[in-house]
């Protein structure tokens, strides 16, 4: 293993890393984040609306998924549902796993909405759907955007776990190249740069969205 930098090697491995990033890492992150955001909100709303026995069941399911390693979930789903291809399996598992975290974030945001807001919608005979979409969710999002964004970035950094179901994502592509050429320095350095180049703009976007929501009410 050598540690000297070789630009020819760097230019040689870069297309391979970008292909793995665009075809696997980015796809799984973006689609899974969308699933997690929507499913997490549904779970949080259900827990606020259903009777206590049903809420207890939902809480147990959320805690079970959240406290079980994502590696175990990937293996379980991949080898149980053999008709699923690896990338679909990864998207489903990441989406459901992170939805449990996002559900807790949404729930905290919903609980932070003043009781007077709920009472006002009741006094105005506002339909439940309108209450959620026009009053509760917009206010809850103001407090939850930073945490939701952090989970999206965490999901992005967890994608190397996809290696256990045979997906060649960004990190694995770098390791494979390094193993074949004995040039790990360039490959793994570029892996880190690509991760940073994708994560940092996302954090800036989340910050701008947070400020926009803060001044829109």
| CATH of residue 112 | 1.10.3720.10
Cα separation, 14 vs 27, in Å, equals 18
From its phi and psi, is residue 50 left (phi > 0), alpha (psi between -120 and 50) or beta? beta
Cα separation, 180 vs 201, in Å, equals 32
pLDDT computed for residue 97 by the predictor: 97
- Domain range for 105 is 7-214
- The answer to the question of residue 104 being in a domain is yes
Cα separation, 107 vs 105, in Å, equals 5
pLDDT computed for residue 76 by the predictor: 95
Q: CA angle, corner 112, sides to 108 and 113, nearest 5? A: 125
User: Residue 191: CB partners within 8 Å, gap ≥ 6?
Assistant: 17, 170, 171, 173, 174
pLDDT computed for residue 57 by the predictor: 93
- The answer to the question of residue 2 being in a domain is no
Cα separation, 13 vs 30, in Å, equals 24
- The answer to the question of residue 206 being in a domain is yes
Q: Which pair of structure tokens corresponds to residue 190? A: 């570029």
**DSSP state string for the chain:** ---S--HHHHHHHHHHHHHHIIIIIHHHHHHHHHHHHHHHHHHHHHHHHS-HHHHHHHHHHHHHHHTS-HHHHHHHHHHHSTTS-HHHHHHHHHHHHHHHHHHHHHHHHHHTS-HHHHHHHHHTT--HHHIIIIIIHHHHHHHHHHHHHHHHHHHHHHGGGGGGGT---HHHHHHHHHHHHS-HHHHHHHHHHHHHHHHHHHHHHHHHHHHHHHT--
- The answer to the question of residue 90 being in a domain is yes
pLDDT computed for residue 71 by the predictor: 95
- The answer to the question of residue 77 being in a domain is yes
Cα separation, 39 vs 47, in Å, equals 12
Of 18, 7, 17, the residue nearest 175 (C-alpha): 17
Number of domains in the chain: 1
pLDDT computed for residue 2 by the predictor: 46
- The answer to the question of residue 1 being in a domain is no
pLDDT computed for residue 3 by the predictor: 58
Q: What is the pLDDT along the chain (217 residues), one digit of tens a residue?
A: 445 788 999 999 999 999 999 999 999 999 999 999 999 999 999 988 889 999 999 999 999 999 999 999 999 999 999 889 999 999 999 999 999 999 999 988 888 888 787 778 878 778 887 888 778 888 888 778 888 888 988 999 899 999 999 999 999 999 999 999 988 999 999 999 999 998 888 888 877 777 776 655 5
């Amino acid at each position: 293993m050598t540690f000297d930098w070789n630009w020819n090697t760097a230019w040689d491995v870069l297309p391979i890393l970008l292909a793995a990033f665009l075809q696997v890492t980015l796809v799984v992150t973006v689609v899974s984040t969308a699933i997690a955001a929507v499913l997490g909100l549904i779970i949080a709303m259900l827990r606020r609306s259903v009777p206590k026995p049903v809420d207890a069941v939902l809480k147990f399911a959320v805690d079970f998924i959240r406290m079980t390693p994502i590696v175990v979930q990937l293996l379980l789903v991949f080898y149980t549902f053999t008709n699923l291809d690896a990338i679909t399996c990864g998207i489903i598992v990441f989406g459901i796993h992170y939805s449990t975290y996002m559900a807790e974030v949404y729930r905290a945001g919903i609980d932070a909405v003043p009781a007077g807001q709920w009472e006002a919608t009741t006094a105005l005979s506002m339909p439940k759907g309108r209450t959620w979409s026009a009053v509760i969710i917009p206010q809850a999002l103001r407090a939850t955007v930073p945490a939701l964004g952090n989970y999206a970035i965490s999901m992005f950094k967890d994608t190397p776990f996809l290696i256990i179901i045979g997906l060649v994502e960004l990190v694995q592509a770098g390791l494979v190249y390094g193993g074949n050429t004995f040039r790990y320095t360039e490959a793994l350095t570029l892996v880190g740069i690509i991760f940073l180049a994708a994560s940092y703009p996302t954090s800036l976007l989340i910050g701008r969205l947070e400020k926009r929501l803060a001044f829109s009410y």
